[in-house]
Structure 1
């Protein structure tokens, strides 16, 4: 598979899998032994079964969560995706990975990240995720940001 194929797999995971909440597409795009690495101290998710469980919990926390592909680059077997998302917090938020439970706040939440994907044999096998869970908690009114704490 070439670079354009790898980019198409990652893009499909977002636009068809996440935006449509279609776990069958997620299972097509991500390998059974997929590993998601989160920022320091936030842990990892191993395997497609655990990933789809965590992902479904995350998506269930937001009404009409929509992901937008902002930029997509690739070289070799690595794909870099800059994305954004927006939705209403209407269910229990557990985070990715699940670290805390926040009941619905009804607030509109927007967040973004730039993630790196390792694609092999037509599936994503690894992801280095940069989503800022603290920013999401701040928008929910659960934590104060450092910028606001000093004022």
Structure 2
């Protein structure tokens, strides 16, 4: 398989994760897309460690069930076994956060997620999100 075809397949795995699992809540696809021993190497967005397929399902279900989360892919770049996604997530402040009761305000966070693909499955992830715009949108810090 050419490197270009491999990069396209790897990007498609990440795209399906965001579109079908995160945005549509299709948890049954996690088994198809993720390695059994998947791990978040570093994650600034998850409230708990994400390990294995069950960890991915637990986080995806929590986000889908508790937030009207919508993730938009801004860029996908792949090289070798790595895929980098620049994303914007949008949701409504429905739950207490950092001691602030729900405001009903819509807010966005922007981030970068880096995935390692091994044998056609998402195997590792590093997640970095910028929370400053969210804090401004919620009125927690000045604009």
TM-score, scaled to structure 2: 0.78
- Cα contact 2:25–2:60 (8 A) shared by 1: no
Change (3 A) 1:32 1:103: farther
Provide the C-alpha distance between the structure 1 equivalents of 2:35 and 2:117, rounded to a whole number of angstroms. 9
Provide the C-alpha distance between the structure 1 equivalents of 2:90 and 2:103, rounded to a whole number of angstroms. 15
In the alignment, structure 1 segments of 5+ residues that lack a partner are: 94-99
SS in 2 for 1:74: strand
- Cα contact 2:108–2:133 (8 A) shared by 1: no
- Cα contact 1:60–1:92 (8 A) shared by 2: no
In the alignment, structure 2 segments of 5+ residues that lack a partner are: none
- Cα contact 2:110–2:131 (8 A) shared by 1: no
Aligned residues: 136
Instruction: Report the CA distance between 1:104 and its aligned residue.
Output: 3.8
Change (3 A) 1:120 1:84: same
Change (3 A) 1:104 1:54: farther
Q: 2:110 aligns with which of 112, 129, 136?
A: 112
TM-score, scaled to structure 1: 0.74
